[in-house]
A = this chain, B = another copy of it.
Amino acid sequence: MREERAILQTRFREVRKQTEDICASLEVEDYVVQPMVDVSPPKWHLGHTTWFFETFLLQAFKRDYKPFNALYNFLFNSYYESVGERVMRQKRGDLSRPTVKEVYAYRHAITEEMLNLIETISEADWRECSALIELGINHEQQHQELLLTDIKFILSQNPDKPIYRKAFHQEGIYIEPKMIEIEGGKHCIGYKGTDFCFDNEQPHHAVWLNDFKLQNRWVTNGEYLEFIEDGGYRDFRHWLSEGWECVQRENWNAPLYWEKRDGEWLEYTLSGMMPLNLNAPVCHVSYFEAEAFASWAGKRLPTEAEWEVAATQANVSHKNFFLESNCFHPQAISKVKSGFYDLLGNVWEWTSSAYLPYPRYRHSSGAIGEYNGKFMINQMVLRGGSVATPETHIRTTYRNFFHTDKRWQFSGIRLAEDV
């Protein structure tokens, strides 16, 4: 029992540190700006993940707990209506205070308080409390990924296109594409283990599938470039109606971060501007672009059930593709014996499934219950995690979701087709 607490302390301490490691190379100024509404200033992420622990653990379980700063509940709440008023999302970049230094002081104080709580919480509260800490850790890991995507967007806005980290780009080799057939019928999807999962991954339930084929790897930049050069962004026939409006309104003619200079395609990466790597997975495409590409290619996107059945059969599991792993190097590409590459990691893969509750889904009660269910509308599911996802934070049942016009995530494409 003591040991269980010690393990949780270690894990908690590590995750808190990883978050700060992600920010280690930032300038103070990089922590502050919000160049589009979807992006939050890094200092906000640092504060918000801390606020989660202060609000749902310290305030709930620590007798006579005195808030670190009464204003922080207002400043670092994201969308929890139950917890009171908050800074409007689009206003986060208007605030110069608290300073980055003050936010770190807040983080460190709460981290210490939490380590103490883990040690001292009563046995009676331990079950509930440790479950919430597990949720808080997973919540913080989600923000680790958002931090990286937001940092990439923030840095990309600067005309000098700064480097975040030197090794963060791709030198991949070419992988021959192949459609792998999976048998249909009654399958089950959804999480059924006993470790942590989010409520939206449950319940485990039956689905009925046709036979289908799923490609052994993601679509490459080179393949996507063919779509562009074939006039893909100028021909309405490939596009959903709302996608076509979006292309025209936003003047899209390539994925986010691509730029043509003197006839050569470059891509902004976390290692700065780089020549486009034709063998690497296409990334930073919206659902509209993924769907249009698939339509142009005479294929389609997989449903999330198809994707999960394939991944389950392939028996893929955790792998290390996070920051330190230099994941984009060819040796890092995972190929399981089933023939699939990178079902987990590298780029999130858009599915053709709307983000809706599974049959008999139940959300938690209280503020924590606002976590997932209330976003189940008008978004599409992505599967598999990306280079930015912490290694211990991905599994085959994990459901990510974004609106159909979003491109700043590490989102790519894997093709499917009917048999």
Contact = CB atoms under 8 A, between A and B. Distances in A.
Contacts of A179: none
Contact of A375 (B87, B91, B241): B241
A96 B378 contact: no
Contacts of A160: 71, 97-98
Interface in A155-200: 155, 157-160, 162, 186
B157 A210 contact: no
Interface stretch (A5-13, A28-36, A107-115, A269-277): A28-36
Size band of the interface chain A makes with B: 35 or more
Nearest to A303: B359
A291 B99 CA distance: 40
Contacts of A95: 33, 35, 157-159
A74 B205 CA distance: 50
A295 to B, nearest CB: 9
A306 to B, nearest CB: 10
Nearest to A203: B210
Contact of A158 (B97, B100, B236): B97
Nearest to A159: B71
Interface of A: 27-35, 71, 74-75, 79, 81-82, 87, 91, 93-100, 154-155, 157-160, 162, 186, 205-210, 236-237, 239-244, 287, 291, 352-354, 356-357, 359-360, 374-378, 404, 418
17 contacts: A29-B32, A30-B96, A32-B96, A34-B94, A81-B236, A93-B93, A95-B158, A96-B155, A98-B160, A206-B208, A210-B359, A210-B360, A287-B377, A291-B377, A352-B356, A377-B404, A378-B378
